[in-house]
Chains A and B, each alone.
Chain A
Amino acid sequence: MEKIQSIVNEIYEIFKDYNVSKSEIEKRLKLLIFEFKVPEDEAKRTIINGLRRDLNLSREALRFPLTKIADLEPGKGVSVKAKVIQLWEPTSQSIAQWGVIGDETGTARFVIWAKSAKRKVEEGKNYIFERVFVDEFGGIKSIKVTSISEVREIEEDIEVSENWGEIEITGALVSISQNSGLVQVCKICGKVIEAGICKEHGKVEWNEVLRLRGVIDDGERTYDVEMEENCIKELTGLDLRTAKKMAFEHLDRGIVLLELKKKLLGRYLKISGDLKFRTVNVKKAEFFKTKVREEVDKVLEEVKAL
């Protein structure tokens, strides 16, 4: 019986992502071994082939096992069921599409090479990426879609994990939204309220907070960013207490937003924080400094080599 169990587990490992139960495998295996007296090896092969046919999977698909994003290992060939959550503009003509995919276990980057000639994927839709290869750059996993891969849209709506992991960005703060500065937010949902009224919760109790909602743009992509008091203070020296004082002295909260715009709009910032969909919850922010003079010579060399 132990032998039977280990074969069941072996087969289950291959098909576990395709909704095959252990009891079903066990039933088929016992039938073949005990009733039809088929040798164990033959029984195992028969069941694997049978399941493969039932599930409409190619032999190759099994060599590229369906894998959750959290379990992706660099260098391996896999298949991944995921939602496309972000598409980025291709920066090279050898890339047809790239961006971020996610499933309930995490997120990863994906690259569809132009040579693979695949149909375009769309943001917000769900796909199975079959026969793709896993890569890793700077701790971020990515899958590569090549000409041997298959990308098919699927019905299933994949839930995406909330936590996308840390991200670091350098770019210009090109926009600060009007609901930034010294604002009153609903105690229940944290959204900005107007005249004591929350759009969702009606007349509510509120907190007064200092915050910033804006857009960082690196010339190739944009990121919505959310900054709270600590980061704002780090950058501008302004904290909630001084903001309140300013607003009180000017009899206008708008003065705080103006001050943030004056000090931060158009500035290059280096930020890090948690990425969630398009939004970065900023944990650390600083003005970006670089040694331009040192870099100029390097770039000059590159231009001349063009």
Chain B
Amino acid sequence: MRTRREVARRVFAKEFNSSRYKLGGNAEKEPVYVLTPLGLKCNRIFIIGALIEKEETKPDSEVLRIRIADPTGSFLGFVGKFDPEAKVSLTEIDIPSTVAVTAKARLLERGGRVIPFIRPETINLSDFESRDYWILETAKATMKRIEMMKGDSELARLAREKYNPNLEEYKEMVVSALMRLKEEVEISEEREESIEESIEEEILDLNDLF
């Protein structure tokens, strides 16, 4: 039987970025997982957010550093020659754009610091509607984990031992992400209007020319 594909988990940037511990990776071929403060064990994640940064780490390094923001923070990512598909798509995507990303979840350990980051496998243009659904879906998944953290499962115990998270803080995070969603629905509509207005202005200007 072939090895099972890892599920792409839904997690907000704030929870992911607070991760400091790894699980697995002991035996050969055993996948490595990032353990988040709410007891999520993830090897792969799926995000829809705003691509707000895309830069070469060093000149000619061929490695791009990217940032993808959600309502709670941003995911740091690196795209190199080992992820050709993601790299090709990135060259065609401007900043800022709404993107859908499937990525490997990783931890970078440097001089006593642990930095969570992602290695995108695929990056594609997405839209506000899908992004809104992602926020909703991720809010629900986070809620489930907050609930789980009150129980006595192995992951809940481990996460409590490693992080002792303040569940209220994460509840507030979910609430504010959802609230942002409500306001953003309105703002995005306003923005569309203002774009239309500016187009009209341009047309007016052109008319003046003739």
Contacts and interface: CB of A to CB of B under 8 A. Distances in A.
Interface of A: 89, 91, 93, 123-124, 172, 174-175, 215, 217, 219-222, 261-262, 265-268, 288-290, 292-293, 295-296, 299-300, 302-304, 306
A153 B182 CA distance: 52
Contacts of A304: 171, 175
Given A222-B5, A296-B178, 17 more contacts: A93-B153, A172-B46, A174-B8, A217-B46, A221-B7, A265-B122, A266-B100, A266-B102, A267-B100, A290-B136, A293-B182, A295-B136, A296-B136, A299-B178, A303-B139, A304-B171, A304-B175
17 contacts: A93-B148, A217-B8, A219-B7, A221-B7, A222-B7, A222-B8, A261-B85, A262-B125, A265-B100, A265-B124, A266-B101, A289-B129, A290-B136, A292-B129, A292-B181, A292-B185, A302-B143
A289 B28 CA distance: 42
Contacts, number: 101
A293 B152 CA distance: 34
Contact of A219 (B130, B141, B148, B182): B141
Interface string B123-155: 111100110110011011101101110011100
B7 A266 contact: no
B46 A292 contact: no
Given A262-B124, A265-B124, A292-B129, A303 B174 contact: yes
A124 B9 CA distance: 25
Contact of B152 (A93, A289, A306): A93
Given A219-B8, A219-B137, A303 B175 contact: yes
Given A217-B8, A221-B7, A266 B48 contact: yes
B10 interface: yes
B132 A292 contact: yes
A262 B171 CA distance: 36
B1 interface: yes
Q: Is the interface of A mostly helix, strand, loop or mixed?
A: mixed
A256 to B, nearest CB: 16
Contacts of B126: 266-267
A289 B101 CA distance: 19
Nearest to B11: A219
Contact of B130 (A215, A217, A267): A267
A89 B154 CA distance: 14
B160 to A, nearest CB: 14
Given A261-B124, A292-B181, A299 B139 contact: yes
Interface residues of B, number: 45
Contact of B133 (A215, A290, A303): A290
A94 B46 CA distance: 27
A219 B132 contact: no
Given A174-B8, A222-B7, A292-B136, A268 B130 contact: yes
Contacts of B179: 300
A211 to B, nearest CB: 19
A174 B102 contact: yes
A299 B122 contact: no
B92 to A, nearest CB: 9
Nearest to B140: A299
Contacts of B147: 306
Interface string B95-108: 00001111000000
Contacts of A262: 124-125
A262 B156 CA distance: 39
A306 B101 CA distance: 30
A296 B7 CA distance: 25
A254 to B, nearest CB: 12
B185 A303 contact: no
B141 A268 contact: no
B13 to A, nearest CB: 16
Interface in B1-56: 1, 5, 7-10, 46, 48
List of 7 A-B pairs having minimum Cβ-Cβ separation, nearest first? A266-B100, A266-B124, A292-B132, A174-B102, A219-B10, A93-B153, A265-B124
The interface centre, meaning the residue of A91, A124, A300 with most chain B CB atoms within 10 A of its CB, is: A300
A260 to B, nearest CB: 11
B176 to A, nearest CB: 10
The interface centre, meaning the residue of B9, B124, B126, B148 with most chain A CB atoms within 10 A of its CB, is: B124
Contacts of B1: 123-124
B7 A300 contact: no
Contacts of B125: 262
A268 B171 CA distance: 26
A252 to B, nearest CB: 15
A89 B7 contact: yes
A77 B190 CA distance: 59
Contacts of B137: 219
